[in-house]
Structure 1
């Protein structure tokens, strides 16, 4: 004991930082471990969590769901009009899909309302913005989440019947997912802009560009997306807010396809110029690929694996594999971001978009270690990016060996968010995101990092436990 007290003081402090500060002031060396009681110290929720940890039914269900996710093989198979492939968007139906969980028109944020009004003008259902907004609020146009139709959309997430959508098929299971086209940066529909120039761009994307890209996609020599996405991670993308490498890799494939086609050279040149000038072009395809992979894991009774994370600018919603189509919602967390000159957090809408489907699949914020350049856009340092990826391993069922991260010794990206682990550790899924102005028509004003709200996971666990109890 005497020898022990003669040694330099080295302490592991668990919990309150104040204890560590006092020891350091006294000359001791402290390793501080952040800790809090599981389930936010809620006794009832803590007991529910305790009954779910180690439950063999959940373990077996999670194994099945995770293996289906890992086995998924997304392939870009087509580009068609939404009305041709998405149920409920037929030519005689007035329905518009939006991002995030369900929400009524009066409760929507400014960017989503602006984008819906723009889509109504694009479809020719109204002649001016005032009439479009009146129509949207009348109930004569159905407004439903993309996720409830096998689709996803970034930011406002708008898909209307005549808009082109990418078709991605998981060839391992046969399920398909859809996403709209990426319009580029600036004032675009997905950020709520709906001015004449925005609509003119959408009409070109839905006509000449669509015709050219459809030929390109159908002529691809290699439509498999998983290897392309894996290569992009090794080239500095995280496949959410940074898609420069993936877009360039896709550009090569599209160009080679079009060189062998009979599409007029002027149309080819204009289409490829647009793709080459849009580093976010691959984002929407990445989202559809991620949707096809997560949907492969959905519908496994008893599984606590998260298959959907989505935001509508007001609420954040998740779905679990084992609780069917039920949404679990809570107010969206604010975004800790970098703002364009002239804008501040007071100008920002709440977290928005279906693009968190990438994080649901171990990409985006979960893969930040692969993309040190992303921190210039979302804040922090390369060390922070690596730490974020490591921290996500504490809340996932495993790692995806197909998507490896060089800074983590080529370990797989953290994947398969387990709602039990989120509640147990208090570690929230991290998400890279763009920031939209809270008013319609302004567009993007920055980018940053946010997290999912804990309340979603608390409610999801309660529902999962209730369902398992009924099975006994």
Structure 2
């Protein structure tokens, strides 16, 4: 249709929104077609109104954000889990919200079996399954012990832990050591090579790292600033979740002088250096507790609608908020969409699993994909998708973290502090990039991709926050 023809015909008016606009046009004799469209919000309108009108909310969220941004992260020790987590001998920690053996997915079961074999509680996989099914091994979330674990996140008493401390608030957070990629325990593999590697990590890697961390501290050297490494990573092409190349290299540089001075056989030191240098995800297990420290600093702020935990156990996805303390709000875990290794495909992937979404909760990982456009080659999508994802996450967060600057966005701070109310109002769920574990126990990693929490988590959190508001 030409412009002349367009202007020669009566205008067609389509209105969406409040009726006052349509009524005004009709009063002038115009024909109006109303469209019943609303923003894609969710949640009970009464709950949304209760939170929106809560007089405490602005100040509470400001307090929570200030605590998150102020928190630091220093590497202060490396110790066995039984020493720092007060872990009973027959307890295993796992990623995500609480779960029982009967409800555990394939990779979670595989990791639990492997941990039993590693600890010597069972001699065969079948025996491990039997004692786990009988409830002879207690299961508890890592988050209940100020800890986090990637993927299955299974942590046993003999595993060595990074010990990080917040010099501002004094909080502590812990994470086991990263095994590398491929067939590893955290992806549910438990073959002989997996158990052999875990024993080497317990017998050699852990003690050597412990000496390398403690000796400089005892000599008065300042502890390694892990938060500063995370900030530097974002300016070097990492996003802190699925891409940790720069962070792992920086960590190796920081540890190398002390490692060279450890009183251990040269062969052991060489093996440790080779292991760290060949593991591009080595830093992930330092970045996660750094995020955990920051988010834990915001716990217990009445009236705050900020999310403090996002975690998955392979069956359920769970979140916690600053205003509701340790309560979990759960929904069914979704299966990531992305790229697969070898001949694996969508049918081989388990639903989302791992505590590593604490990085997104802090504002890095999927929230900072704009800082690491190369990540799309690993998780799928395009560079514009990565930029658009970060821009969208600004709409559901409370602040920008000036310490986590994103170069391509003019060094704008990463979007930090997920707001339950903003998520509900926009209908935009947080974006997570993640590895994918095989659905069958023992498989290992099958790919990597993108995933979001189920809306149900935020609906439950919204209702609970509104209930707390009315009771205040």
User: TM-score by structure 1 length?
Assistant: 0.90
- Stretch deviating more after TM superposition (294-303 or 47-56): 47-56
Partner of 1:28: none
Distance 1:284 1:329 in 2: 24
CA contact (8 A) 1:234 1:405 kept: yes
Partner of 1:321: 322
Partner of 2:365: 364
What are the residue-to-residue correspondences of 1:25-36 with 2, within 5 Å?
36=38
SS of residue matched to 1:416: strand
Q: 1:218 aligns with which of 211, 214, 224?
A: 214
Distance 1:12 1:456 in 2: 36
Q: 2:184 aligns with which of 183, 188, 200?
A: 188
Question: How many pairs were matched up?
Answer: 442
What are the residue-to-residue correspondences of 1:157-172 with 2, within 5 Å?
157-172=153-168
CA contact (8 A) 1:339 1:445 kept: yes
Partner of 2:123: 127
What are the residue-to-residue correspondences of 1:274-313 with 2, within 5 Å?
274-313=275-314
Distance 2:159 2:193 in 1: 17
What are the residue-to-residue correspondences of 1:204-243 with 2, within 5 Å?
204-219=200-215, 221=221, 222-243=223-244
Deviations along 1:49-95, one digit per CA (max 9) or x if unpaired, are 122114221111111111000100111111100011113x13xx310
Q: 1:199 aligns with which of 195, 201, 211?
A: 195
User: TM-score by structure 2 length?
Assistant: 0.90
Query: Offset at 1:470?
Result: 1.3
RMSD: 2.0
Query: Offset at 1:259?
Result: 2.7
Deviations along 1:124-164, one digit per CA (max 9) or x if unpaired, are 11111111110111111111111111111001001111110
Query: Offset at 1:334?
Result: 2.1
CA contact (8 A) 2:335 2:352 kept: yes
Query: Offset at 1:36?
Result: 4.4
Alpha carbons of structure 1 residues 106 and 272: separation in structure 2 relative to 1, 3 Å? same
Deviations along 1:171-226, one digit per CA (max 9) or x if unpaired, are 11111011111101110000111111100000000111111111122245551111
Alpha carbons of structure 1 residues 457 and 269: separation in structure 2 relative to 1, 3 Å? same
Alpha carbons of structure 1 residues 14 and 153: separation in structure 2 relative to 1, 3 Å? farther
CA contact (8 A) 1:170 1:176 kept: yes
Distance 2:53 2:283 in 1: 39
Query: Offset at 1:257?
Result: 1.6
Partner of 1:156: 152
Unpaired runs of 5+ residues, structure 1, are: 16-34
1:37 aligns with 2:33: no
Distance 1:13 1:379 in 2: 38
Alpha carbons of structure 1 residues 232 and 219: separation in structure 2 relative to 1, 3 Å? farther
Distance 1:418 1:328 in 2: 15
Partner of 2:20: none
Partner of 1:70: 69
Partner of 2:96: 100
Deviations along 1:411-445, one digit per CA (max 9) or x if unpaired, are 00000000000001001000000001100111000
Partner of 1:466: 467
CA contact (8 A) 2:111 2:186 kept: yes
Distance 2:358 2:15 in 1: 37
Partner of 2:381: 380
Distance 1:191 1:227 in 2: 29
Deviations along 1:70-121, one digit per CA (max 9) or x if unpaired, are 100111111100011113x13xx31000001111101100110010011011
Deviations along 1:294-335, one digit per CA (max 9) or x if unpaired, are 101111112110000000111100000111111000001221
Partner of 2:83: 84
SS of residue matched to 1:206: helix
Distance 2:194 2:367 in 1: 32
SS of residue matched to 2:287: helix
Distance 1:5 1:295 in 2: 61
Partner of 2:33: none
- Stretch deviating more after TM superposition (244-253 or 213-222): 213-222
Partner of 2:31: none
Distance 2:397 2:15 in 1: 26
Query: Offset at 1:262?
Result: 3.1
SS of residue matched to 1:322: coil
Larger Rg: 2
Distance 1:263 1:5 in 2: 86
Alpha carbons of structure 1 residues 321 and 332: separation in structure 2 relative to 1, 3 Å? same
Alpha carbons of structure 1 residues 386 and 143: separation in structure 2 relative to 1, 3 Å? same
Deviations along 1:351-400, one digit per CA (max 9) or x if unpaired, are 00000000000010000000011000111111110110000000000110
SS of residue matched to 2:449: strand
Unpaired runs of 5+ residues, structure 2, are: 18-36
SS of residue matched to 2:323: helix
